[in-house]
Amino acid sequence: MAFLMQGFVALSTLLIVAAASLFGVSHASDTPSVFSKDSLTYYVQVEVGAPSLGTLLQPINASISGSFGQAVVFAFNATKSQSRTSKSLGLLRGYTVETNYISGGATRLLEVEFLDYDDGQYKGTLQYQGVVTPESTELAVVGGSGSFRGIRGYVVVTFVSSNNPFSTFLHKVTLLK
């Protein structure tokens, strides 16, 4: 009887250890690596006239308030280098809304977007929000998911090159500790 009991305890212990290590393995592979670098750069590929870039809402009243209220929705590709055919790093999706209320005034867009990032090591989203003007585009990094949980910082967007209908932009992300 004592022998059977001992055997049962040994077997249960074995099963618990086996289950724990199984959970341990699956838990580790489900958790993306934490992105702890202080910067990230990638290129954004735009195709003017493609269905991935379109007017979502028309201006409220162009004769008195210019383009105010016009919204554009977009879905762009993010790549590792300037070439459109370089390694894919994910997708950039979002929208802009014209906020300038003056007819003929300079563009001042609210931009809200996310980068769905996957380079094979880091995987997750970066959430962006900010203002686009003709002079500059700097958006706040307001958070993230996956490898980027809890991050804060900013992204500076600069125009790199254009070969109609394609344009390429550089996104330089700085993360704050």
Ligand X SMILES: *[C@@H]1O[C@H](CO)[C@@H](O)[C@H](O)[C@H]1NC(C)=O
Rg (CA), the chain: 24
Contact residues for ligand X (CB under 6 A)? 45, 47, 61, 63-64, 77, 84, 166
Nearer to ligand X, 46 or 155 (CB): 46
Euclidean distance between CA atoms 127 and 125, whole angstroms = 6
Nearest distance, CB of residue 91 and ligand X, angstroms: 8
Nearest distance, CB of residue 64 and ligand X, angstroms: 5
Q: How far is CA 131 from CA 104, 107, 108, 111, 161, in A?
A: 18, 10, 7, 6, 22
Half-sphere exposure of 62 (CA within 13 A, CB side): 5
Nearest distance, CB of residue 84 and ligand X, angstroms: 4
Nearest distance, CB of residue 115 and ligand X, angstroms: 14
Nearer to ligand X, 70 or 141 (CB): 70
Nearer to ligand X, 65 or 129 (CB): 65
